[in-house]
Amino acid sequence: MLLSLVVHTYSLRYWLPATIMLGTAPAYLLSWGAWRLLSTVLPTRVYHKLDDRLYCIYQSMVLFFFENYTGVEVVIYGDIPKNKENVIYLSNHQCTADWIIADMLAIRQSALGHVRYVLKDGLKWLPLYGWYFSQHGGTYVKRSAKFNEKAMKKKLLTQTQCGAPMYLVIFPEGTRYNPELKNVIADSQAFASKEGLAILRHTLTPRMKASHIALETMRGHLDAVYDITVAYEGTLKTAGQRKPAPSMPEFLCKECPRVHIHFDRVDIKEIPPEPVFFRRWLHERFEIKDRLLTDFYESEDADKICKFPGEGKPSPLNLSKTLPSVVILGGLTLPLLLTENGRKLYVRTWVYGTLLGWLWVNVFP
């Protein structure tokens, strides 16, 4: 009985925030839908400005749970620019929580509403979220020969031509690095060897296509590339072996005490446009990531293990940036749940929003 109580209490640490985050989605969608209708007679730039603001409200609520609620300490190596910029965010990819790390950096630059993602195609089927990410400027891509270069360029041009601020998140590895998936790592290393590239041990070999298309399509709109390396504390076994990074549920269950983020800004003018040189540049950036992660996981100095080289500064997130969003979205959701007609509208929003969303992402990829 005691064990059952412990397990139940542990699961609540995840289910409580997950229920609130998912539960407020219909109210958020209805608010966005009302604004979308009102903005049809307004310039596109005006629509995007408030859409970014609405997105910021929802994602701030998400960060309340992933950062304030969990109590995770965010340690940043490098200086984040104080002013907002139009950027591509390139990071290593280990787990579903990586998407939240991008939000953690963006909110510290007051750019949370401008975050847009390059996502694998299967995620467009997520109820409500899949199509909303698309309309907010995200783009879905397929791998290898099925990659639709024309659709990605069109989506990015639509955003830049209307002057939408850009904080485009890309994970060039294409899939998550998991130290337990030896075959995936071996295939990645074999590909690098075949192409004459350096073998990476703590990341997968980056694929250049999406990053290069994004960079060249928006080059005149961009200020920089943010080269991000992320490591999760608590992912090193006592025997010195690396463990898988925490999933979103594990993160919400407070299994990660500290996140280390290495930040490096690369001016857009320093990045070569030619595909062959860009490929080499991108791989060299991942060689740097690999060395950083090697130091993090394999340093022989007990004082440097589970740390990146250099000075890391804790960066707490003030509740004033997240708690108001929880109150706002909670205030919009509760009236829907307290009346019979409200509950019907709530359910219909989930159902019809999902169906229309699936139609949206297939007609307007």
| Residue 11 reports pLDDT greater than 80 | no
In angstroms, the CA 172 to CA 152 distance is 15
Which of the four pLDDT bands, split at 50, 70 and 90, describes residue 350? low
Which of the four pLDDT bands, split at 50, 70 and 90, describes residue 8? very low
Which of the four pLDDT bands, split at 50, 70 and 90, describes residue 5? very low
Residue extents of the structural domains in the chain: 1-363
Q: What is the pLDDT of residues 288-317, one digit of tens each?
A: 999 999 999 998 888 889 999 999 999 999
Which of the four pLDDT bands, split at 50, 70 and 90, describes residue 122? confident
How confident is the model at residue 3, as a pLDDT?
37
Q: What is the pLDDT of residues 127-164, one digit of tens each?
A: 778 878 888 888 888 876 678 888 899 989 988 888 88
Which of the four pLDDT bands, split at 50, 70 and 90, describes residue 358? low
Tokens coding 242:
């690396």
| Residue 222 reports pLDDT greater than 60 | yes
Which of the four pLDDT bands, split at 50, 70 and 90, describes residue 348? confident
How confident is the model at residue 261, as a pLDDT?
98
How confident is the model at residue 1, as a pLDDT?
43
Contact in structure between 26 and 346 (CB atoms under 8 Å): yes
How confident is the model at residue 36, as a pLDDT?
83
How confident is the model at residue 270, as a pLDDT?
97
Q: Of 124 and 90, which is predicted with more confidence?
A: 90
Share of the chain above pLDDT 90, in %: 59
Tokens coding 225:
């590339």
Q: What is the pLDDT of residues 95-121, one digit of tens each?
A: 999 999 999 999 999 999 999 999 888
Which of the four pLDDT bands, split at 50, 70 and 90, describes residue 244? very high
